[in-house]
Amino acid sequence: MNRTYLTAVPLLGLLLSVAPRSASDEASYLDPEESIIVHAPGDSPCPDGVLLWHYNPPGLEYVGGFTWHYDGVAPPDYGAFAEGYSGSGTVCGIRLLLTTLPGSYQGQTLDAYVYDGAGANPGAVLSLTPDIAVTPPGLFPTLTEHDLDVADVVLDGGFFVGFWPDWPGAPCGWWIVGDLGGPGGCPRTKIAPGIGYPEGWQDPSIVWGPIRALGIGAYLAPLPVPTHASTWGEIKALFR
């Protein structure tokens, strides 16, 4: 499995903005100037798994950081972010690419989700792993890869993986990084009612402008090959 442990990355933009890019006080955006990517400590949640990852390193010069806070985050999962994939096997882990600012991270936790993806948006919840404590995200301009061990889900077809930040009604703890110029994936965010945007699962581009993919990946392990119990007669027939 290939991993990026430390990569120097020039980023487009000369401004760090923690103010919303819209009239809403619930949406926050970071525009990095120059960053590095570091893999956070921890073992792979899925040693035999393959990382499905829409996030495209060559597009890192077009990245941003996105989050909801205050009334933008509410139970059960308003303020969540998700990314869509398709495959066959067992979803056994999630990777997040996060960053934060001094004083923002205060040990906040998250709930990790696997959703059915038969439609264009996350559907039924297939797996929920609550109260995951992430290691401290990298301080801007450092971007940190975090691998999460989640409840396994066996599936075949489309699905979404994502997280809900556990800070309802409070300031944000970190920002999820997004690719603005790569080949693209299926980014989604679940918008709370009454904050000035369409409610429910939406493309985050309607809030922050064009976003091609979020820094949310899925670890997918292949299903074991079923064994066939041969009879002695079948074995002897092989040598005739």
Q: Please name which of 98, 39, 23, 94 lies closest in space to residue 64, comparing C-alpha atoms.
A: 98
Q: Both tokens of residue 214?
A: 């979020």
User: What pLDDT score was predicted for residue 230?
Assistant: 39
Q: CA 118 to CA 75: how far, in whole Å?
A: 24
CA–CA distances in Å: residue 100 to residues 35, 105, 159, 201: 12, 7, 28, 24
pLDDT, one tens digit for every residue, the chain (240 residues) = 433 333 333 332 222 333 333 435 789 888 766 778 889 888 889 888 899 999 876 555 667 899 999 999 999 999 999 999 999 999 999 999 999 999 999 999 999 999 999 889 999 999 999 999 999 999 988 899 999 999 999 999 999 999 999 999 999 999 999 988 878 899 999 999 999 999 999 999 999 999 999 999 999 999 864 444 434 454 344 334
State CA 147 to chain mean position distance: 10
